[in-house]
Structure 1
């Protein structure tokens, strides 16, 4: 078995590598070459933590496995650790024998940012100039770095429940040479692309906060009950997702579906756009919404890439297991 510790990930996985891995696995999911297993995600009744498993099998890339982990909201304050903790396990598809254990914290951040970035590439208007961020936590910095590489953005605007955290994303914008302005939610209407990355159970973004022609990536809703945007927005947008089954059950579409505002058929795979079987955006006035629920196949794709690189660079730890 190969072990790639968390401390080695930063030197192995780049944003470009994560983008390629996620784009390819979305395409495989859409053409039937890969599928996810049902998600298990539960409140454990200790430390307010959410814990679970995401897994799947990518027959195209021959990646089989799962990610185990979750969200410990008290980690940073109590232990100086990031709140999201996870590990990826890979198995040999031919024998079922465990083949790798990979630190999943940075990989999760990179693959989540890659997913929204892939959606921007394929769905946002080509002339998008203003980038809007709703959320300014740890994951938001990864989201913004990846997003700024997809269009020639001239300005970043941001809002957060805790305004004192906005310097996190302001620093990223400044590093990219793009001016930043803290705004009210009402001013998100000025953005051409919006990424929402919060952990709320009540919507922050209302339909009137999003202008015609905007692409919005909702990246925070990955659990039953969570919600970042008003359900009415999904009726005004063309909705895309990583996986339809997750979108309608634990993703942003769960609430609009439950309210009878949209149907399952109204939620489309982003992979279909990548493969060319769905046209994607069809006009400059169309609102496109990507519901990024986070699928296990994303984790397997980036982990498999990391294992390969670790072996090539001679830093993989091999153990007899």
Structure 2
């Protein structure tokens, strides 16, 4: 995306007026990998009571040369993996090398994926966590135990101890305040992907150097939407993390700098992951071939 050889198409995400659900499409085209397609799905908040995950999605891949459907792939696990991978990549490129404490805000199903992926990027020595419903913090404890790390439940003020903070909630109100973040922290905001959602104080985006997967989504449906709406920052203040990965943006330039990654989730990520799965499935003789 940052190199200009791939782009996302505008996101459609709407409340359907039934089951309190949000439903939509993310799509795009990667000219280099020839990945073309879309992910269809959304968020059904009542699914947990039915023994289902709240996020439901399916990825459709198309032949870029003919437009024929190539594959239909279940997107639930893939979405969890690619979302965790995205925040993990942001930690790899933006967090301080000496980061020791990772803080988690949110302890639901996705938080476990986020924490597992994040722990691969630095030699973390401790996990701290906060959740609106404290009984769910056992999810974070489980992952910390897997990694042989101590876990501590904290109040939000306790996040000042963290060198890296991941927010992964479905909140529509700012949870993390600007004075609860210490200099040098890297924050990965991964829960805001819809107009109106919000996880952090807009002042945090003023204090931080802000990076995102796609600027257009960041300022319209991502965490940056609120700071932009209040005139606190502009679109030009938000940088693509792809530019950091490609070496055209320096990213973190000091240990005192606060960096913030606004992970809105882009369709190209879904297509890349699904295309890899299809390739592996064919090589393994898995999946079902259907004549369309």
Shared topology, TM-score over 0.5?
A: yes
Q: Which residue is equivalent to 1:290?
A: 261
Q: Which residue is equivalent to 1:53?
A: 25
Counterparts of 1:164-243 in structure 2, within 5 Å, are: 164-243=135-214
Q: Secondary structure at the match of 2:281?
A: helix
Moved over 3 A (4+): none
Counterparts of 1:30-179 in structure 2, within 5 Å, are: 30-77=2-49, 79-179=50-150
Alpha-carbon displacement from aligned partner over 1:58-96 (angstroms, at most 9, x marks no partner):
11111000000000000111x211110000000000000
Measure, in 2, the Cα distance between the counterparts of 1:82 and 1:274: 32
Higher RCO structure (Cα 8 Å, ≥6 apart)? 1
Counterparts of 1:244-255 in structure 2, within 5 Å, are: 244-255=215-226
Q: Secondary structure at the match of 1:30?
A: coil
TM-score by length of 1: 0.91
Measure, in 1, the Cα distance between the counterparts of 2:175 and 2:217: 21
Measure, in 2, the Cα distance between the counterparts of 1:81 and 1:112: 19
Size of the aligned set, in residue pairs, is: 292
Q: Which runs of 5+ in 1 are unaligned?
A: 1-28
Q: Secondary structure at the match of 2:123?
A: coil
Measure, in 1, the Cα distance between the counterparts of 2:291 and 2:218: 39
Measure, in 2, the Cα distance between the counterparts of 1:107 and 1:63: 16
Q: Secondary structure at the match of 2:39?
A: strand
Q: Which runs of 5+ in 2 are unaligned?
A: none
Does residue 305 (structure 1) correspond to residue 268 (structure 2)? The answer is no
Q: CA deviation at 1:316?
A: 2.3
Q: Which residue is equivalent to 1:12?
A: none
Q: CA RMSD in A?
A: 0.4
Measure, in 1, the Cα distance between the counterparts of 2:277 and 2:171: 32
Measure, in 2, the Cα distance between the counterparts of 1:81 and 1:202: 25
TM-score by length of 2: 1.00
Measure, in 1, the Cα distance between the counterparts of 2:256 and 2:15: 41
Measure, in 2, the Cα distance between the counterparts of 1:219 and 1:275: 22
Q: Which residue is equivalent to 1:267?
A: 238
Measure, in 1, the Cα distance between the counterparts of 2:147 and 2:34: 36
